[in-house]
A and B are shown apart, each in its own frame.
Chain A
Amino acid sequence: DTEVTQTPKHLVMGMTNKKSLKCEQHMGHRAMYWYKQKAKKPPELMFVYSYEKLSINESVPSRFSPECPNSSLLNLHLHALQPEDSALYLCASSPRELFSGNTIYFGEGSWLTVV
């Protein structure tokens, strides 16, 4: 059973819509991540939050806007997306970013389709 919970599991949105993906973990982890995964490809890192502060933005377009309201929650706000943004979005967490040996745990992902 995953301890990183993502909602919704499936989302279909139009190119003019505004929607959000949500992620929650209750493992006390202080680092949280968003990854994007296209079919038959490995996950690609988008953002990293460490202690609720954005520490990495992998040159992600501004139509993706992350938010970390507290240490347990991570949101990804979506606006004016393109069809090529359709993918599986994975949230992950780890105990603490700088202790790099700590394992990154993934949620089940949110399937996003942009029409």
Chain B
Amino acid sequence: AQTVTQSQPEMSVQEAETVTLSCTYDTSESDYYLFWYKQPPSRQMILVIRQEAYKQQNATENRFSVNFQKAAKSFSLKISDSQLGDAAMYFCAYRSADQGGSEKLVFGKGTKLTVNP
């Protein structure tokens, strides 16, 4: 079974600075998808960024980018120019590309990000 590990329960960053959230995963599959979701105090889970494992190029979405290291099974999220609105719980998630196991998102335990003004 796949597992996702977020080793940083909490992180903090100064406004306008850069922060990196760590995520590692364990899988025997070669094809899969990785996601970062953000959950602010409003509790809605919002997709931040997604990465297909077969793509070597790291995904980017405006101030958000990932460092995907497939061999190391690492999928970190970098937030540049941090804003107060980035404060939230961030979940790393894995989804199999195998049709038989594709229904489930496997979540890490989350990292709570605080942004200091």
Contact = CB atoms under 8 A, between A and B. Distances in A.
Interface of A: 2, 31, 37, 40-43, 45, 48, 50, 55-56, 88, 90, 92, 97-101, 103-109, 111
B99 A43 contact: no
Contact of A101 (B37, B52, B103, B109): B52
A100 B43 contact: no
Question: Which residue, B33, B97, B99, B104, has most C-beta atoms of chain A within 10 A?
Answer: B104
Interface residues of B, number: 26
Interface in B42-91: 42-47, 50, 52, 91
A32 to B, nearest CB: 11
Interface of B: 33, 35, 37, 42-47, 50, 52, 91, 95-99, 101-105, 107-110
Question: Which residue, B42, B43, B52, has most C-beta atoms of chain A within 10 A?
Answer: B43
Given A41-B109, A97-B102, A98-B99, A103 B44 contact: no
